[in-house]
């Protein structure tokens, strides 16, 4: 193979270089034209402005984020300071050693449903053996407005509701882990505010228990009875106490209410008079078969006299929300050898006027027992239960006091359910509980179901369920 020398044409290379230089000069000449130059500068300025805007937005977002975290930290610090102030809240001690908590705990807001919807307060207990649960306030659809978790408290059956001032009052007692040592609290929950204690104290459980609570219609005054010496084995006596809703003027009114009534009866607060000058007291004892009726305490003279009611056991006593009338069930007692007497027909639903003492009968049944009369919120109707646990069917009826007309709301299977009529949420909506249970020789309650239903039997709603539910009232 032969290789030949390749000669490069130097003239052609020089020509190419000249052409490239010529092209560069032409580009410079083109860019140097006034119109093109201005457009290039405009584009460059726009790019620079956009870059500066992006950098400003990044800086601003970082600054806002830092400010946000600073505000959160400041808010957390303020909350911590408020909690510390609440923990250091001042107390006032009374001669009996009880304490009252300052008003500063009362203003925590609670969301409420819109409008003027009536609210229902009740105790929900998942485990009745411990009685620890929560107090809930809901509207007619079950929408929660407030929950007071009582995980550390043992709730007792002492509560009342002021429908006019929208206040719930209830009593709790908590075991402190030391034999005989308890903490007791009397709480108030205003509509739209957090529940707060009127007083809190620690005491020896053998000293006694709170036996009943009542709040005045105007929501300013609370009465409660204290059963002194309960469980001590040395006998007991019932005291009557008063305290303002804000915790002030906590005073003993009557040291021993038993001096005005034959023992073993006890007198517990039931209802204040409209002027708060007197307090109606219901009778209770270990043997309700003995006739007594209502008593009334004069809060100015600290004395107790018999109210204008029949000398009977006023079963299912319920006060009218609009005047001084009470609804109650009357029946006769049947003596049983070596056992407590039993009620037997005829059963009568009565109304007694506490100002005149007049009593009228508005319903009667010669077969099934009547029980649990409940006034409507407008005072025009009374609902009541017909039948008991051993009846195949249990009915809830409503009687119109003005017209005398009676209508059925609902019928429930009595063989597998028990029914508790709890009251009214509004002039036309009732509240009741159906408790399911096992069948057989031993009846065991399983679940309480809380319902609302219209007086005409329509619009039945399941509000809640638990192993135990106790309705406190509507407001």
Q: Supply the pLDDT for residue 93.
A: 35
CA dihedral 103, 105, 108, 110 (to 10 degrees): -90
What residues contact residue 6 under an 8 Å CB cut-off, 6+ apart?
Answer: none
Q: Which residue has the higher pLDDT, 24 or 60?
A: 60
Find where tokens 């709790």 sit: 172
What average pLDDT score do residues 361-389 get?
94
Residue 357: CB atoms within 10 Å:
11
Q: How confident is the model at residue 155 (pLDDT cuts 50, 70, 90)?
A: low
- Would the pLDDT of 352 be above 90? yes
Q: Supply the pLDDT for residue 17.
A: 47
d(CA 383, CA 202): 41
Q: How confident is the model at residue 165 (pLDDT cuts 50, 70, 90)?
A: confident
Q: Supply the pLDDT for residue 392.
A: 86
Q: Supply the pLDDT for residue 447.
A: 87
- Would the pLDDT of 98 be above 60? no
d(CA 278, CA 300): 8
Q: Supply the pLDDT for residue 468.
A: 87
Q: Supply the pLDDT for residue 130.
A: 62
Q: How confident is the model at residue 183 (pLDDT cuts 50, 70, 90)?
A: confident
Q: Which residue has the higher pLDDT, 104 or 461?
A: 461
Q: Is 87 helix (H, G, I), strand (E, B) or coil?
A: helix
- Least confident span in 37-46, 361-370, 379-388, 399-408: 37-46
Q: Supply the pLDDT for residue 102.
A: 32
Report the run of H or E that residue 363 belongs to, with start and end. Answer: strand 359-365
Mean pLDDT of the chain: 77
Q: Supply the pLDDT for residue 202.
A: 74
- Would the pLDDT of 348 be above 80? yes
> pLDDT tens, 204-223?
666 677 888 999 999 999 99
Q: Supply the pLDDT for residue 94.
A: 30
Q: How confident is the model at residue 193 (pLDDT cuts 50, 70, 90)?
A: confident
The pTM assigned to this predicted structure is 0.73
d(CA 151, CA 133): 6
Q: How confident is the model at residue 62 (pLDDT cuts 50, 70, 90)?
A: low
- Least confident span in 38-47, 229-238, 441-450: 229-238
Q: Supply the pLDDT for residue 134.
A: 84
Q: Supply the pLDDT for residue 205.
A: 61
Backbone angles phi, psi at 144, to 5 degrees: -75, 130
- Would the pLDDT of 374 be above 70? yes
Q: How confident is the model at residue 113 (pLDDT cuts 50, 70, 90)?
A: very low
- Would the pLDDT of 97 be above 50? no
Q: Supply the pLDDT for residue 252.
A: 94
Report the run of H or E that residue 159 belongs to, with start and end. Answer: strand 154-162
d(CA 408, CA 397): 4
> pLDDT tens, 274-309?
999 999 998 875 555 565 789 999 999 999 999 999
Distance set, CA 354 to CA 27, 265, 276, 325 (Å): 113, 21, 15, 6
What's the number of CA atoms in the CB half-sphere (13 Å) around residue 80?
6
What average pLDDT score do residues 322-339 get?
88
What is the side-by-side strand order in the sheet with 417-426? 417-426, 429-437, 445-454, 461-466
Long-range Cβ contacts of 59-64 (<8 Å, 24+ apart):
none
Q: Please state, for a pLDDT cut of 70, what percent of the chain lies above it.
A: 69
Q: Supply the pLDDT for residue 6.
A: 41
454 closest CA partner among 405, 353, 381: 381
> pLDDT tens, 403-454?
999 999 999 988 778 899 999 999 999 999 998 865 555 555 678 999 999 9
Q: Supply the pLDDT for residue 163.
A: 80
Q: Supply the pLDDT for residue 31.
A: 52
Cis preceding linkage at 346, omega within 30: yes
Instruction: DSSP letter for 257, please.
Output: G
Tokens of 193: 């505010």
Q: Supply the pLDDT for residue 84.
A: 43
Q: Supply the pLDDT for residue 319.
A: 95
Distance set, CA 453 to CA 90, 271, 314, 424, 464 (Å): 46, 27, 27, 9, 14
Q: Supply the pLDDT for residue 356.
A: 95
> What stretches of 205-338 adopt beta strand conformation (E)?
208-215, 221-228, 237-244, 251-254, 266-272, 278-284, 295-298, 303-306, 315-319, 325-336
């Amino acid at each position: 193979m032969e290789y030949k020398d390749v000669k490069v044409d130097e003239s052609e290379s020089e020509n190419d270089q000249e052409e490239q230089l010529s092209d560069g000069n032409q580009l410079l000449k083109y860019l140097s034209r006034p119109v093109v130059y201005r457009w290039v500068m405009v584009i460059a300025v726009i790019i620079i402005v956009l870059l500066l805007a992006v950098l400003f937005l990044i800086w601003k977002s970082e600054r806002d984020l830092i400010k946000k975290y600073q505000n959160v930290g400041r808010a957390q610090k303020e909350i911590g300071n408020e909690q510390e102030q609440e923990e250091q809240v001042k107390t006032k001690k009374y001669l009996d050693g009880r304490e009252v908590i300052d008003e500063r705990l009362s203003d925590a807001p609670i969301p409420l449903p819109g409008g003027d919807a009536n609210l229902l307060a009740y105790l929900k207990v998942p485990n009745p053996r411990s009685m620890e649960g929560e107090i809930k306030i809901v509207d007619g659809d079950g929408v929660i407005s407030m929950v007071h978790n009582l995980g550390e408290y043992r709730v007792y059956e002492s509560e009342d509701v002021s429908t006019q001032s929208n206040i719930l009052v209830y009593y709790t007692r908590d075991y402190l882990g030391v034999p005989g040592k308890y903490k007791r609290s009397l709480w108030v929950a205003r509509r739209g505010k957090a529940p707060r204690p009127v007083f809190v104290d620690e005491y020896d459980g053998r000293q006694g228990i709170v036996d009943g609570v009542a709040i005045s219609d105007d929501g300013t005054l609370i009465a409660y009875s204290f059963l002194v010496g309960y469980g001590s084995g040395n006998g007991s006596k019932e005291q009557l106490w008063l305290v303002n809703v804000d915790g002030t003027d906590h005073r003993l009114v009557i040291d021993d209410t038993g001096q005005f009534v034959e023992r073993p009866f006890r007198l517990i607060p039931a209802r204040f008079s409209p002027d708060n000058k007197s307090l109606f007291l219901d009778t209770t004892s270990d043997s309700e078969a003995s006739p007594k009726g209502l008593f009334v305490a004069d809060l100015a003279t600290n004395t107790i006299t018999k109210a204008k009611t029949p000398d009977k056991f006023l079963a299912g006593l319920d006060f009218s929300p609009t005047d001084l009338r009470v609804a109650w069930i009357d029946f006769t007692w049947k003596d049983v050898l070596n056992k407590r007497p039993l009620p037997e027909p005829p059963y009568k639903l009565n109304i007694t006027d506490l100002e005149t003492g007049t009593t009228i009968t508005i319903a009667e049944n010669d077969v099934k027992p009547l029980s649990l009369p409940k006034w409507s919120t407008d005072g025009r109707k009374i609902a009541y239960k017909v039948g008991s646990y051993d009846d195949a069917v249990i009915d809830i009826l409503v009687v119109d006091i003005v017209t005398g007309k009676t209508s059925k709301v609902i019928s429930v299977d009595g063989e597998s359910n028990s029914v508790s009529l709890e009251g009214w949420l509004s002039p036309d909506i009732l509240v009741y509980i159906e408790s399911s249970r096992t069948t057989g020789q031993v009846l065991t309650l399983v679940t309480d179901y809380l319902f609302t239903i219209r007086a005409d039997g329509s619009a039945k709603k399941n509000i809640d369920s638990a192993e135990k539910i106790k309705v406190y009232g509507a407001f």
